[in-house]
Chain A
Amino acid sequence: MILIGENIHIISKVIGEAIRNRDAGPIQSLAKAQTEAGADYLDLNLGPARKDPEQAGGWLVETVQEVTDLPISLDTMNHVAMEAGLKICQKRPILNSASGKADSKAYMMPLAVKYNTSVIISVLTDQGCPPDVDSRVESIMDTIACAGGLGIKTEDIWVDPIILPVSADQKQVREALEFIKILPDLLPGVKSLIGLSNLSNGAPTPLRGVLNRTYMIMMEKYGLYSAIVDVLDPELMELNRGGLPEVRELIHKVMDGAHIDMAALSERECNYVKTARVLLGESLYSHAWLES
């Protein structure tokens, strides 16, 4: 699937400071590293961008484009910063993101039209995140109808079902999976995207990778078009390229409900199987899910 590098993110201490101080070094270094790692897009996350949004948006895109030809996904809730950045994107960018919230329909969607960008549209509404498949469907149909009304084309829309951390709301993990599965029947021609790392937010840091990678494979099976990921995770990139076929096969087996002889597996393979079971909701999540 298409992979969007997530590493240039305001929440990171280093990057956050670099953006605040307009220090190009750390940002360009990460941009180059992600490009080399094989990212298809680079996500630039400005967050709420309260200070000098126009300046910040423009500066960040400019800085990154100095060192890479990759197209950009611009990620901010601030439409002033968004516009400033979109304006100067050299390749067709992705607007990350619009949603069913009133503000978003009013300010973000028109920017996608004005600058002819692709746009990530999430299932969020002013009431928050829909709690199951049916309500996500309800929400996205309404939001996309609105987008369509503004002239945004279906094939330019990347639908985001919103991934919640498995440690916070395990049920949503499967709901998002089921949603992606039925999406092509719901909205033929639309693309899809998830923010993969949010899945493992709150989980023990050394174990985040196996959660993310497992979910990526599961989503891939259901036809997910793209994901915002840590492209500096070599195992994840290898999996995406088709490597580690035995891991992919095991995860598919869990999804198909086939019997698996755990005794015959290596520890790494066991971990993928246990993780897949937790993500499917077959086993209650705990931070010690690999220990039992």
Chain B
Amino acid sequence: MQYKAPLETYTGRIKEVIIGRGAIAVKIGGENILPLHYFEGTAVNRTVIALEVDDNSAAGWAGWVVEPFKDVVSDPIKWARRCMELGADLICLHMESTDPQGANRPAEEAAALVKEMLSKVDAPLIVYGCGDEKKDVEVLTRVAEACKGENLLLGPAVKENYEAIARAVSENGHCIIAQTPIDINLEKELNVKLLKQLPPQRIVIDPLSSALGYGMEYSFTIMERTKQIGVIHGDMAMQIPIIADLGGECWKTHYAKANGEQGILWEGITAMSLLLAGANILVLRHPDNCRMVKEAIEGKF
């Protein structure tokens, strides 16, 4: 029997999503191949890496990952610039200080910070609210309005609050992060609902990333399935790029905090796994992983 390389081609294609404007914009998605399967097609856009910036001076962050930024963590603008210098493709700004159970910073201030960052840092921006359903609507709406037309990637929009956020996103020219709690059926449902308010090119899926050892395999499998249902089975509601916001999850674990080397690999291995599962954006904290995972993506390993 002769060997014939079992290459595969698929009819489904992930929608291309653009984040940011002008020269600094990045494109994600657009692929009709499985993750890193460059041997049987082209990626169109390779997975990009976002470094995380927190608006709360990295309160509670593991020391190992504050270290490379220790002189800038209290200034999100400087911190973001440093991230771009270190090779990030985008900045992921987590608005932790808006948490009503924490500093409860008002939406206006949050919006002002984002606007300032846009003007001072040449980087496409992802903006995550604190995860409080009600506060996030306020904050993300204000951010969307204040930065009208800037094509930010805003979220999380969840089943309980997506309509208002989608409206703000739609009216102000941005993209939305559709977040569901590790449930592929809910993920599809949220997409179907969002597709009534937004075109697919403005949606990114966040199925929730869990850290290595803390449920990573659940995120992994959902991402794999999502990608395959879109690319192989042609389900249009799933032909949408995926974001893996994994940095925070990894660095809050006991194991990452215990030792710097271990922490870097805790994040790095989670990143590699979710990259292989289908993540189009990886949100990381440690610059070493930004560098190494990028090399892996670019095939320089």
User: Which A positions have Cβ atoms within 8 angstroms of B?
Assistant: 167, 170, 283-288, 291-292
Q: Is the interface of B mostly helix, strand, loop or mixed?
A: helix
Asked if residues B186 and A286 are in contact (CB atoms below 8 Å), the reply is yes
Are A170 and B192 also in contact (CB < 8 A) when A284-B229, A284-B235, A292-B237 are? no
Count of A-B residue pairs with CB < 8 Å = 35
Residues of chain A contacted by B193 (CB below 8 angstroms):
288, 291
A284 vs B234: C-alpha distance in the bound complex, in angstroms?
11
Q: Is the interface of A mostly helix, strand, loop or mixed?
A: loop
A287 vs B193: C-alpha distance in the bound complex, in angstroms?
10
Q: Which residue of A lies closest to B238 (CB)?
A: A284
Asked if residues B184 and A284 are in contact (CB atoms below 8 Å), the reply is yes
Residues of chain A contacted by B191 (CB below 8 angstroms):
286
A286-B185, A286-B186, A286-B192 given. 16 additional CB < 8 A pairs?
Answer: A167-B185, A283-B235, A284-B185, A284-B229, A284-B233, A285-B185, A285-B188, A286-B188, A286-B191, A287-B186, A288-B189, A288-B193, A291-B192, A291-B196, A292-B192, A292-B236
Q: Which residue of A lies closest to B225 (CB)?
A: A284
Q: Which residue of B lies closest to A287 (CB)?
A: B189
User: Which B positions have Cβ atoms within 8 angstroms of A?
Assistant: 184-189, 191-193, 195-196, 229, 233, 235-238
Residues of chain B contacted by A287 (CB below 8 angstroms):
185-186, 189
The 9 closest A-B pairs by CB, nearest first: A286-B188, A286-B189, A288-B192, A288-B189, A292-B192, A287-B189, A286-B185, A284-B188, A285-B185
Residues of chain B contacted by A288 (CB below 8 angstroms):
188-189, 192-193
A284 vs B192: C-alpha distance in the bound complex, in angstroms?
12
Residues of chain A contacted by B184 (CB below 8 angstroms):
284
Residues of chain A contacted by B192 (CB below 8 angstroms):
286, 288, 291-292
Cross-chain pairs A/B with CB under 8 angstroms, 15 sampled: A170-B185, A283-B235, A284-B184, A284-B229, A284-B238, A285-B185, A286-B186, A286-B188, A286-B237, A287-B185, A287-B189, A288-B192, A291-B193, A291-B196, A292-B237
Residues of chain A contacted by B237 (CB below 8 angstroms):
284, 286, 292
A287 vs B192: C-alpha distance in the bound complex, in angstroms?
10
CB distance from B66 to the nearest CB of A (A): 40
